[in-house]
Chain A
Amino acid sequence: MPKSGSIGRAERERVTQKYLELRRKTVERDRSLREKVMSPEEAAALVQDGEVVGIGGSTLSRTPMAMVWALIRAGRKQLTCARGIMSSEGELLFGAGASDHVITSWFSQGIVWGVSKVMRYYTESGRARFDEWSHMAMGLRFRAGAMGVPFLPMRSMMGSDVIARLPDVHEIDCPFTGEKLVLVPALNPDVALIHVQRADPFGNAQMDGLQFMDMDLAMAANRVILTTERIVSNDQIRRAPDQTKIPFLAVDAVVEVPFGCAPHECYGVYEPFFRHHDMYAGLLRKDPVKGIADYLDRYFYAPKSWTEYLGLIGLDEVLDAARRGRSIYDD
């Protein structure tokens, strides 16, 4: 099992890419104004085993669950998953054998459900790797990736043991002021999965509420798969271009999936499905390995479609989450 403190050159170059290589991958993409609407299954085929996958949203918010679901169903293996904060989507990716490596600042279902037993099972036994960066370090890694520079300086993580375990960080004396600084390497995922409230068929994405790191993540990645609550016309996008947070030229696939974050939240559309989360946590509490396998069988492998998945979660849960979600706009 690779120790998180050691890193090979090849692995470093997977996440922090040389500038000309990064430019080449961008130049080779079809950046024309073209329709790119496809199914979750077609989008899953754009992701290869072993790739670095950036996941949008944070904790229980705007998680691109429908694409996580599609990748697991497609049998993807050995993905390295990077996200500011990981929640149950990380547990499901580990449990399904789709990922064996996460890069994040925090990883558990959520504080109210305690420390993740699935995360513990996989990381304590060395079955999977959990590189722990500070939350701001994760953000600056995506930002450096988006800026096309190999690193950014920052002032946290010094004096802690977090920094000593990280694979690729440098402490320097600033050439301008002489102060100590930490340099964190750019993170350029092979592919980013991002869910938004609305997008047009070209991939112009409009996002309401909390943005997390998604704009940087989109611009850092070499491919972007966008899922959206609904597809709107390009005319509608052009009426309020200031609301567009991710431009079409960075997007490679647009997938329409209503309730595409379920059982997580999508700002202003639905809140987390709390009863479903309690049920899920209960399954894992008894036995993390059998619990996650049973959950995956029932909710990920058995349904024929995303609609059927939502049906299994239950109409009452869906409506309850939607009622709470929309209440954010009440005075």
Chain B
Amino acid sequence: MTTDAMSRTQRRNYTASELLAVMAGRLLQDGQVVFAGVGIPLLAATLAQRLHGPGLTILFEGGTIGAFVEPGQLPPSTNEQRCTRRANMVLGSTDVLLLLQRGYVDIGFMGGAQIDQYGNLNSSFIGDPEHPATRLPGTGGGNDISSLTQMIVAMKHEKRRFVEKVDFITSPGFVHGGTSRRDSGLVTGGMYRVVTDLAIMGFEEKSRRMQVLALHPGVSLEEVRDNTGFELLVADQVETTEPPSERELSVLRHLDPEQLYIA
């Protein structure tokens, strides 16, 4: 942790993970259909439902449409019965994934182990895939979600996670930038936002390189650059986000009292 980050943690009344969940939840709008992965995305989407989006429809790859996960009952993956509470429908996992392909989903919402300047995500291999330093668990539905819809990624902002080129493209962003995503055969979707505990990023229209849009309270552009392993573009007008409110934090802590996801 940098000196900046340490002094900031002393000043504020929330953790980096809580900040990430709150900021990610704010990006979702009432009425949207969002396909959420386990962890911070599930939590942030559930938080958004409770705060400003009672009409937010959450899909899980285990096969549910429109569930409301209960406070203190967070599931260990998106495949357990906890993901079906108050759902409108349970269906097969192939069929819920096919909703992405058919075009019913507004936002795909995932975490990430490693991301690059074009928004490609790696959750398969650290190092050379033939002789990996670490074999990671793999794509799950990540590849399908990122291939077929607009994506929001929520992850910790660390230099080892924000790399110039991912070791392996598990879930494609804008591939090699420019029109390469479309040229590869992915004619829809793409990276929309990357939200971290430091900032909110988008992708520049032409080059499709990652671009800083907003900084969280007390975070400098320099600090974001120090924690990023590639050259970031910066929007003409960089906004500053509002700090998490007491209400946002209290609802969030009520949802995850055991800090299963927000440790």
Contact = CB atoms under 8 A, between A and B. Distances in A.
Interface string B148-167: 10000000000000000000
A210 interface: yes
A105 B79 contact: no
A154 B77 contact: no
B117 interface: no
Interface string B92-128: 1110011011000000000000000000000010000
Nearest to A110: B76
A328 B97 CA distance: 24
A60 interface: yes
Contacts of B83: 210
A136 B64 contact: no
Interface stretch (B9-17, B131-139, B231-239): B131-139
Contacts of B144: 134-137, 156-157
Contact of A105 (B135, B141, B186, B187): B141
Interface in A125-163: 130, 132-137, 139-140, 142-143, 154-162
A58 interface: yes
A58 B79 CA distance: 6
Contacts of B32: none
B143 to A, nearest CB: 4
Contacts of B55: none
A140 B94 CA distance: 7
Closest 4 CB pairs of A and B: A139-B94, A180-B185, A159-B184, A156-B147
Interface of A: 3, 58-61, 84-85, 87, 104-108, 110-112, 115-116, 119-120, 123-124, 130, 132-137, 139-140, 142-143, 154-162, 165, 171, 179-182, 209-216, 265, 267-268, 271-272, 274, 277, 325, 328
17 contacts: A58-B62, A59-B77, A106-B137, A107-B138, A111-B39, A112-B260, A124-B131, A130-B138, A155-B186, A162-B143, A162-B169, A179-B187, A209-B81, A210-B81, A212-B62, A214-B92, A328-B84
Given A58-B79, A110-B77, A160-B143, 9 more contacts: A60-B79, A134-B144, A159-B172, A159-B180, A165-B129, A179-B187, A211-B90, A265-B81, A325-B81
